[in-house]
Amino acid sequence: MAYSLLVFLLALAGGFSIMSIEMLGGRIMAPFFGSSIYVWGSIITVFMVALSIGYLLGGQLSLKNPSLRKFGALFLFCGVAVLPMIWVDQPLMNWVFMAVEDVRYGSLIAATGLFFLPTVAMGIISPYAVRLLVHSTHRSGSVAGKLYFVSTAGSAAGVLMTSFYFVLWFEMDTILLLLAGVLGACGVIALIGASIIGEQAAPPEAR
């Protein structure tokens, strides 16, 4: 029970972080590229492509001895992957803005440089979490449904909290730093949980 609850909570945090960063994308890019439909189209496209690749990678990685410790390491990597956005966003967007005249392609290139890698990493979370919770194939659909419900609920919370509150309370860099900290803390919690609960609590190979 504790094992499943921990995985669900980690998936919730992952979904929250993904959508929080996506909502921040428009504010980060607006000073250089504006907030037109082209800019939001670029942001959404980059996130969708990156997440699709992350889902694919997560499914493949989950086949190779999945464990709560590896899941924790994934969260630590996600936290680290978010940090460069704090320091390279202005130089990158300024360079792209000067080099690419068309705002459509400029915003697409800038969004790819800023958001692609961390979003791919966070996309791995959900399919990997499904594998950690699946005990047998006849329950896989139910487990996946519950997991994606929790992850999507976290995403909705991330959108609401970021758009209604975070952008009013904090600077962009502060929010990104907090999100990186949340992801890193989730990684530490997963590693501690693996030590306390024991990896033997992880589900066996689905059969």
Residue 204 pLDDT exceeds 60: no
Mean pLDDT of 115-127: 94
Walk me through the domains of the chain, giving residue ranges and CATH numbers: 2-201 (1.20.1250.20)
φ, ψ dihedrals at 198, nearest 5°: 95, 140
Q: What is the pLDDT of residues 7-26, one digit of tens each?
A: 899 999 999 999 999 999 98
Per-residue pLDDT band for 97 (boundaries 50, 70, 90) equals: confident
Report the percent of the chain where pLDDT is more than 90. Answer: 52
Which residues have C-beta within 8 Å of that of residue 102, sequence separation ≥ 6?
Answer: none
Q: What share of the chain is helix, strand, coil (3-state, %, to 5)?
A: 85, 0, 15
Residue 85 pLDDT exceeds 70: yes
Per-residue pLDDT band for 205 (boundaries 50, 70, 90) equals: very low
Q: Report whether 202 contacts 68 (CB < 8 A).
A: yes
pLDDT for the residue 88: 87
Q: Which residue has the tokens 């959404």?
A: 44
The angle formed by the CA atoms of residues 83, 85 and 90, to the nearest 5 degrees, is 140
The count of other CB atoms within 10 Å of the CB of residue 82 is 26
Kindly report the average pLDDT of the chain as a whole number: 88
What letter does residue 139 receive in the DSSP assignment? G
Three-class secondary structure of residue 136 per DSSP: coil
Report the percent of the chain where pLDDT is more than 70. Answer: 92
Q: Tell me which of 9-23, 119-133, 143-157, 192-206 is least confident.
A: 192-206
Q: Which residue has the tokens 């709560």?
A: 68
Mean pLDDT of 100-117: 90
Q: What is the pLDDT of residues 35-78, one digit of tens each?
A: 889 999 999 999 999 999 999 999 888 888 888 899 999 999 99
